[in-house]
Structure 1
Amino acid sequence: MSTLLLEIVTPERKVYAQEVDMVVVNGVEGQLGILPNHIPLVTPLKIAPVKVKKGNTEEVIAVSGGFVEIRKDKVVILAESAELPANIDIERARAAKERAEQRLNAKRDDVDHRRAEMALQRAMNRLDIASSK
């Protein structure tokens, strides 16, 4: 069976670069399963886990937005941030979740609700992935 190269890149570093059998991402239009020889495509991503299948194993990576570029034999995810489960600081993610919830519950005009909602989504994504390892 053929494979494809998956690269996950953030502004700071390359988080992941391996040959894989399949990648599952959550785009703004819905979930997308990517196999080798997929039609070329570029689409924005939601804050959601990226599932990576290699042989009989499955990995999950926390990805916070960005874009996926799909080529015939390569998938590149350009993410705002991305973390492998082993690198997620659970206490930091819990603290971020609590801060975001407090901002959303404050009902004050000086709070940027969209930004707080995004922070809450990022924290929840990280906590979900950390708890699944």
Structure 2
Amino acid sequence: MGFVEREVVGAVNRVYVHTDKMISREDMIYYQYENSEVARCCGRLKGSSLKLLGESEKIFKDDGPHGLLYKVNPEKIDSKKLEGFLGVVLINVRKVFAVEGNYLKALSASGEYSLEQCLGSEGVNLYRKKMMNWKVACIFI
């Protein structure tokens, strides 16, 4: 899991994925985007659409910086859907459902879990809930 963000440099749009997991070419990436100022889910990308750039200094976990930074092939994504929006990224989930604003539910090989994105004093928090326990999964600063 992680985040997708859009960066505009001059007339060039760039889209980046920050995640705590190494992504393979075969992985399916689901990303949240914005439509009429409402969070929507989900766009899909294959792992082959991403290029690993190195470590992400924007993903933090309990033990400090812990993330990877990928650049998305601009031909594979509509970057206008990400204008001014920081979306959640899910990797290799079987299904994403029950989308309400910044709240998602996903079904993965290890079971069902919920994700909630909210603002905190240190940045954007991504909480993961499994079996009734909410835990900060990662923080984007």
Q: TM-score, normalised by structure 1?
A: 0.25
Q: Whose helix proportion is higher, 1 or 2?
A: 1
- Larger strand percent: 2
Q: Which has the larger radius of gyration?
A: 1
TM-score w.r.t. length of structure 2: 0.24
